[in-house]
Structure formats: structure tokens, C-alpha cells
Structure 1
Amino acid sequence: MADFKLANANAKEVWSTKYAKEYVAESGFLPFMSSADNAIIRVNTDLKSAGDVVHIPYIASLKGAGVSGGATLEGNEEALLNYSTEVKVRHRRNAVMLGEHETFKSELDYANMARAGLKDWSAEDLRDELIEKMQSVVIEGGVDSDGTPIEDTYKPFDTATAGERTAYLLKNNDRILMGTAKATTQVFSTSLAAVPSSAILTADTVSMAKEMAETTASFRITPYRTKEGQKWYVMFVGVEGFRQLRKDPRIEAANRDARPREVETNPLFTGGDLVWDGVIVKKIPEITQVGNLGASSAPIGFAALCGANALAVAFSRKPSFRTESKDYEHRVGVGITEIRGSAKMSAAGTQTGQISIYYAA
């Protein structure tokens, strides 16, 4: 009786699919990523050709009063505002070289030997990309001659001009927290320079950011729901901000008195996620400071309280490995290639799922 053998092409497909799931998980963002319309990080996996632009739709919530009783509904319908976020995908690649004394008989053996290093690189690459998009400045797209919204564009915080940052502040005044309050002026640099060194992250900051998310004037920031129906916001924060929150007396007391005291689960011991006022606080160590831009050149950190439709990730081609022989097959190169992109989600210049927090680090 002949043994079953998986076809080589299918084996590579299974390997690539598993690799993608593992590196996304190791990036730290997997629990908040899905294809659902209300995901914190919307994922699009409509595989297309290289170089495609993927459009992630966003439908604004209805605000009208509707009609009651015998009132006529015809002619009183409400326009359903819809926008989209453009995600430009591009190749992301890396490779390692293996000597003949380390290799075995097949492509999959080569790939498995290179797997750990390549997977770490992919996870870090995705994580850094999403952090950059969280901090990015939204450039309003406007409308075309027919009044149809044009998709917004984005610039990394570091390369955005003073004017672009200020325009971004004006469109997002109800979802940018400068220290312990909304911006005190309509100029980004001036508002940031007013953040004192005492404006660290506290339990009040978390609650204030949540309150801002719940009361946005337009493009409401809605929490994401667990399978059990529980509503949560998630705050991504760097090491300085996480340390400040962990030492906050009320959050420390909540972890001490209201959560299990096992070493394996309590964040007082494990350094795991904090929870306060319906917000999960997740430490992402690679979220760095934005510079010494506060009052008296105080260092300023960045955190993002996120609800649904905060970020978008598009995979136009799943990861696949390639091998190449060198030096009379004495050396084998193993590479990973995929086509991926990401963006902050926004509509009419307004970030749709995020409260940006600038605090004293």
C-alpha cells in the first residue's frame, strides 16, 4: 500500500499560511485584528496582483431622527455616508543564507531552519509599521467635483510639517489629548509645548480618553465587542507610560484587591495587560517618544486609545518562501516575500477609531 504524500505545492502553501499566522501573533496585535467591520485593526485578505491598492470601506453611523407614527418616510430618508481608506501594498522581503553543512534534502527543510529568524523579522516589521501608522498625521482628501469624498492620505509624524500637524489637530480636536486636557490652542506645536512634565499617564487620563471616545461629535469611536458581548477599548502604550499607569495608586489597588493574586495572572507580578474603566492597557515597548517637545523641553510620549476602525492591514499576497543555490550549491539562500500594507483609518481628515494621547514621558 502506497503512503500518502502531500504534494510539494500544497506543502509550501500550508507552510506559508502557518508562518503568516505565527508572525502576526508574535507582533502582539493579533488579538485585535480581524476582517470584521468593527475590528480595531481591520484586515483585508483579498489576494490580488502585485502593486494593487486595497480600499477598506467605512460606513458612518446614522444620525437622523427618523419618523414616528403616521409620518411619511418617503422623502425623509437619510443619506448613508460612506468613505474608504486606501492601503497601498508593497513587497516586504528578507532572506538568510545557510551553509551546506546545515542543510538537508528539501526546500521545506531549508525553510524550517530559517523559520525562526525570518519569523522574528516579519513580526517586528509588522509591529513597527502599525506603530508608525498609529502616530501618523492624517491629510484630508476633500471631495471631487461631484461631492464624492476623496480618500485621505497620511504622513509619518516625524516628516509631517508644522502646518500639516496643525491641520490634523483642527480636524481631530475632539480626539487628541495633550497631557491632561484637549489642545489649549489651535496650533499643534504650541499645544504640545504646553504639556508640563507633570502630565504623566494616570487612571484619570485613561478615563478621560475613554470619555472622549464616547463623546466624539462625528465618526463615533465605538468599542469592540468580545464574543460574550463585553465592550472594550484598548490603549497601546510604550514602556514609560505603562510604568506610570502600573504605579498609579488606584490602578495598583485595583490589581491588588480586585484581581486574582496568583503570580501567574496578576499584572503586579507578570507585567501583563492592565485593565481600568473598560480599557485594556497593552504595553508595546517599541512605541517610542515623539521628542523633547513639551514645556521646558519635557520628553513627550505617545499612546493610542483605540476602538473599532482604528487601523487597517491588507495582504495582497500571502508570505511565500523562495530558495536559491549559490557557490555550486554549497550555500542555500532562503527568503520570505509577501505583499502587504497598512494605514490609519480615517474619513474626511478625521481618524475614525483612535484617541491620540501625548503625555509627559
Structure 2
Amino acid sequence: MAETIATPGLTPQQWDDQFFREYVRSNRFRRYMGTTENSIIHVKEDLTRKKGDKITFANVRKLRGPGVTGRTVLEGNEEELDTRSMVVQVDTLRNAVVVTDHDEQLSAIGLRDAAKGALKDWALDKMRNDIIAALRSINGVNYESASEGQKDAWLADNADRVLFGNARSNNAGNDHSASLANIASPSGKMTAATVSLAKRMAQTANPAIRPVRLNEDEEWFVMFAQPLAFRDLSQDSAMQQANRDARPRAVMDNPIFTGGSLVWDGVIIREIPEIPVIPGVGASNIDIATSFLCGAQAVGVGWARRLRSTTDVRDYGFRRGVGVQEMRGIEKLLFGKGADDLDDLVQHGVVTVYTAGVADA
């Protein structure tokens, strides 16, 4: 039986490695991904070396006991180590494009090369959107699919790490929809004071949200902001004064001119244009913008198989396909704070911030 040999342009080994590097590097969340517990998006690749469909992320809470002093016997006064776990399920993701020799001949562009670029963009969009969906999720359920009861239960467990507008008192008895309805405009817009309040909530939550540590003792949080929230923050007088007086005045170095990341009170604020608004749920039916102040291990990414290319040649070489596939899972990391491992789940590294999201006139 004769075999059809794929043309050199379709040989997967020629673009596998570069495709994966571009895919991850171009992702706007890429700079926050890492394999250590000091990463905002914690990546684990355990299953790339062994079989399985689940990756476990572990959390060890700090010791809270007083210890012993002097001649007090330590034996019998030991403290129990409080450990928690979360399982991230991995699944296969695939997409492909098929081009016939006939269409390749007629087209003014190389369709198979164009397919590679389109698949790369699809992979970029897919990972970005999955990270956003994880941040917005309600105990693992997509925000739009979650019931009011699920949202209320989530809020009850996470009340110390969810902010409605610019005051913690806007939380209406852990009723999610009623709390959103307390957000008005302009009083509920994102401001520099909102960022500082969200940071204090992260620091005082129980258990506290751990900042990312740089240079041994330099601590930072990162806020991923919905565009309308980012707009309001950039127009806040305190933020504008800080950028005028404390940031470089050169056009290419100041976010007043570049629209780049803002910095306030130990928080880096990054605009994520793809975060959607929640329509019509605020006071007077205004839209609500969701932003996320994140510390270490906010999101977990579990990889079982890295992204790779695939090819398919059929119909006697007339139809040639190029595709991509990977096996991974992405979840907001949740660890229990109740008596048992999974009791009273709280989002480990995220303060969710809801603010007024009034569209441009």
C-alpha cells in the first residue's frame, strides 16, 4: 500500500516548538505565569511526565499557635499542620483547518500558512478567555451560569475578599444581587481609594492573600481591570496627580500618554479589554465592571500535554489539514477554611472588585 508523504511545510516538527513559545509569550497574562508558589498564575506540569487527568494544588496554612518558652515541655504541645488541596481537572482542547489543493492554487495567499496564524490566534484567545472565566467563576461555575443561590453562598464564604463599589458596607447581607444594586454612579466608580481598600482587604482577609514578593522583601499585588474601571481609575484626580508628579514625564514612560499599566499603593493595575461588564445590575440599572486584585496563586494552570501541531492528509493528498491540540485545565484556586479540607471554599489569591461601569457617552 502506497503512503502519501506530507510536504515539508506541513511537517509538524518544523513549527511545534516555536508555535508554543509564541502562544504563551504573546498571552497578556504571560508575565504573571510561573511554576513557583510566588506566581500569580501558578503553572504545574506534573502530568506531562506521567499519566492522569487531574493535578492537585496544595496549600499549607501558617502556624498560629504560641509555641513554648523556657523549660515548658514541647512534647504534647505540638501544633497540627493545616493543609488544604484543590484538584484541577485537565481536558483536551483541539482545533484545525482543512485546505484543498484546489483552493490553495486559486488563493492569492498561502492558505495553509494563514491557517497556522489563525490557529495561533485561536490558542491565544482560548487561554486568555479561560483565565478570565476562571477569575469570574463562582466556585468553579461560570459566572453567567451560576444561580443566585450559588452566588450568595460564594459571597458568604468570601465576604472579606469581595468589594462592591467603594465601601465594604455595600455588601447587603451577603445577597449578591442586592449588593450589586448598591453600586451607583459616580460614587461607585473605580478610584485610587478603591485600589487601596481592595489591597487592605487582601492583607486582612482570613486567610490573608499573599502578595508576590520581589527582591526578598518588596511586595506587590496586581489588579486586572475591566476597561471601564481602568478608564475611571486613570481619570481619578489622585491617580492623575501621582502620574504627573511621581512618574517620568517622558511621553513613552508615562501612562498618561501611553495608556500602559498604572501603579498605586503597591498595586500594578493592568487593563484587560476582554473582561465583560455585567449589564444592568447596578443602581438605576447601570452596568457593573469587574476587576480582580490578585496575589500569589490566584489561578492554577495544570498542563498534561503542551500545545502541539497536528496534520492530516487525505483524499489522495487533495485535502490537507493543520491543527493544534493540548491537554490542560485552568481554575481559580479555592481552598477550604472550614473544619475539613473542602469546607467553606474561599478564593485563595483574589479580591473581586465590582464598580460602576457606565459606558462612554
Letter in 2 for 1:30: R
**Aligned residue in 1 for 2:68:** 67
Residue 164 of structure 1, aligned match among 150, 170, 173: 150
**Aligned residue in 2 for 1:95:** 96
- 1:177 counterpart SS class: strand
* Structure 1 position 191 matched with structure 2 position 187: no
Question: Structure 1: which 5+ residue stretches go unaligned?
Answer: 1-7, 139-153
Residue 346 of structure 2, aligned match among 345, 350, 353: 350
Shift of 1:156: 1.0
- 2:144 counterpart SS class: coil
Note the 1:303-342 alignment, pairs <5 A: 303-342=291-330
- Rounded Cα–Cα distance in structure 2 between residues aligned with 1:283 and 1:200: 15
- 1:264 counterpart SS class: helix
- Rounded Cα–Cα distance in structure 2 between residues aligned with 1:71 and 1:21: 57
Shift of 1:99: 4.5
Letter in 2 for 1:116: G
**Aligned residue in 2 for 1:122:** 123
Shift of 1:229: 4.5
**Aligned residue in 2 for 1:203:** 192
Shift of 1:286: 0.3
Residues 14 and 213 (structure 1), Cα distance of their counterparts in 2 relative to 1, 3 Å cut = farther
- Rounded Cα–Cα distance in structure 2 between residues aligned with 1:42 and 1:112: 33
Letter in 1 for 2:324: I
- Rounded Cα–Cα distance in structure 2 between residues aligned with 1:342 and 1:68: 45
**Aligned residue in 2 for 1:36:** 36
Task: Please give the TM-score of this superposition, normalised by the length of structure 2.
Answer: 0.86
The answer as to whether partners of 1:48 and 1:317 remain within 8 angstroms in 2 is no
- 1:347 counterpart SS class: strand
Shift of 1:101: 7.6
Note the alpha carbon deviations across 1:14-58, whole angstroms, 9 max, x for none.
843432232122221111111101211110111167760111111
- Rounded Cα–Cα distance in structure 1 between residues aligned with 2:55 and 2:113: 31
Shift of 1:74: 1.9
Residues 324 and 191 (structure 1), Cα distance of their counterparts in 2 relative to 1, 3 Å cut = same
Letter in 1 for 2:41: I
Note the alpha carbon deviations across 1:190-241, whole angstroms, 9 max, x for none.
111111122000000000000000111x221010023565211000011101
323-332 or 173-182, which deviates more: 323-332
Query: For the aligned residues, what is the CA RMSD?
Result: 2.3
Residues 70 and 272 (structure 1), Cα distance of their counterparts in 2 relative to 1, 3 Å cut = same
Task: Please give the TM-score of this superposition, normalised by the length of structure 1.
Answer: 0.86
Letter in 1 for 2:349: G
Aligned residues: 332
- 1:54 counterpart SS class: strand
- Rounded Cα–Cα distance in structure 2 between residues aligned with 1:227 and 1:113: 43
Note the alpha carbon deviations across 1:142-172, whole angstroms, 9 max, x for none.
xxxxxxxxxxxx1111111111111111101
